[in-house]
Structure 1
Amino acid sequence: MEKTLMQKIEIFSMNFDFTSAEQKAILQYLQANNYKLTAYKGATGPNQVSSGVPTWFSVSYVEIFGELEIDYEPKYKVYVFNQTNINVNTRILMQAISDETPLGTGLTFNPDGTFHRNSGAPEGVINVINNRPAGTPPVTIGLAAKVNGKFLPFCAFICAPQESVSMKPNEKIVLLASQNNMTSGTVAGNMTGPGCSFTFSAQNMRYDLEMIPENYGIQNVPGTIPVDSVASGASLVQLLNIS
């Protein structure tokens, strides 16, 4: 019971403060040049899409001023998309979505688009059986994680009918400021600008971040929990430990 209660209140946060003169000047440039703050989150498991990673969330800098706090809760839903040709710039749609599903849960996806619980899954994993009839096309199955109150997709796996996928989310996060048109669910293969990566944990639940004036990358505020710098062009698949 104690573990369950802790999970209910566990919130991780990513924070920016654009109130200083330097950060405000950077924000003005990012707004004028149509930048977005774009995020990616990791997961592991067989049959994961190899072309890239679905964009988890994307926030236009035009919408940002003052202090920005992005809250992430490690809560998940399963989604299904009826296409499997997932290339860079494909936008994955959550055409069917389950109720909130704890890690260690097994689900069956039914032909009518509904889900029901089955015998379970290993700790830290959500397992989904595709119960569509043999001979029907494969589908894309993935997880959506809760950020700022919304469940948004962050990983994608290909699953044939009468087979299953095992999805294990990890807490590796990648952030960057980007001029592309990525929205939640749009697949990206590489970093389109410099950014940062970090890993949430019980010890590191809050990251205080700031923009870098020279290249519009992202770093930690001096004196706070450090993050790793990521260069433009780096592979998101490799950064997020996908296997």
Structure 2
Amino acid sequence: MTGEKMTTFTMEFDFGSADQKAILTELQKSGYSLMAYKGAAGPNQLTSGVPTWFSVPFGTMFGLVDIDYQPQYKLYVTNQSNIAANTTIQMQSISDALSLGSAQTFNADGSFVSGGVEGVASDSLGLFNNRPAGTPPVTVGLAGLVTTPTGSNYLPFCAFTLHPQNSIVMKPLETILLVAAQQSLKSGSVQANVSAPGCTFSFNAGTVEYDLQVMPSTYAITNLPSTPSVKPVSSGSTIGLIVNSGN
């Protein structure tokens, strides 16, 4: 992917103002974290929930906080096949960064090689599972590049079941769900329902930044006045229905 100019999408909080600083102090004292979920489309998607994309303790934040995301992806494979809610997905094998519209073949030794799926759309990635027939299915998915106050990493945000000698085409969606909650989750931790009030929004060519704030008392997340708007999400909502619908 060398030489490609990538769009950078930004989620920004400003904890420098007096009111947001006071809310941040409360969040830190009570052990809250900012958690994100990101959408994807494809067959045989995990039914037990959606992997947490990133989880960042508010204790690591202060002042102006930019969380930057580039639509740049790697494929991952794990032999965890029965993934229940609250399971944490471990990315056992990870490909190089890939251009959308391309495909890889996953071999039995855990390696990836180029090709294996024909006609992949320009907004998707393909993967062929070249493990021998009769071997157990694997869980596969996409990891997206995100930079948070705790570092820059490719982190998993979707999961699909893929049988041996079969292929899959996965399409990342730019629908994001953010929530502030009292949970100690890791990236990859599968969650079925929203654990606290949050918000959802979508990145596109015309909207590359959302300026956000945390509300007092409820700790719901919303947009700052006169900035691109977000939609409120209620606690208990189904995460998969929110981020994977493509709306």
Provide the TM-score with structure 1 as the length reference.
0.95
C-alpha separation in 1, matches of 2:34 and 2:7: 23
Shift of 1:214: 2.9
Secondary structure at the aligned position of 2:5 is classed as helix
Change (3 A) 1:234 1:51: same
RMSD: 1.5
Provide the TM-score with structure 2 as the length reference.
0.94
Change (3 A) 1:197 1:142: same
C-alpha separation in 2, matches of 1:135 and 1:186: 28
Partner of 2:169: 166
Change (3 A) 1:145 1:227: same
Shift of 1:241: 2.4
2:188 partner letter? G
What do the CA deviations read for 1:124-163 (whole angstroms, capped 9, x no partner)?
1111010000111110000000001311000000011111
Secondary structure at the aligned position of 1:41 is classed as strand
User: Contact 2:11/2:210 (CA < 8 Å) preserved in 1?
Assistant: yes
1:83 aligned to 2:86?
no
* Percentage of matched positions with identical amino acids: 51
Shift of 1:242: 4.7
Q: Give runs of aligned pairs for residues 215-230 of structure 1, distance below 5 A.
A: 215-230=218-233
What do the CA deviations read for 1:194-222 (whole angstroms, capped 9, x no partner)?
01000000100000000011300000011
Partner of 1:150: 153
Secondary structure at the aligned position of 1:22 is classed as helix
- State the aligned residue count: 240
Shift of 1:123: 1.9
Shift of 1:5: 9.5
Question: Which segments of 5 or more consecutive residues in structure 1 lack a partner in the other structure?
Answer: none
1:18 partner letter? F
1:18 aligned to 2:15?
yes
Partner of 1:74: 71
Shift of 1:7: 5.5
1:57 aligned to 2:57?
no
1:32 aligned to 2:29?
yes
User: Contact 1:107/1:120 (CA < 8 Å) preserved in 2?
Assistant: no
C-alpha separation in 1, matches of 2:74 and 2:46: 18
Partner of 1:113: 110
1:207 aligned to 2:206?
no
User: Contact 1:47/1:165 (CA < 8 Å) preserved in 2?
Assistant: no
User: Contact 1:45/1:242 (CA < 8 Å) preserved in 2?
Assistant: no
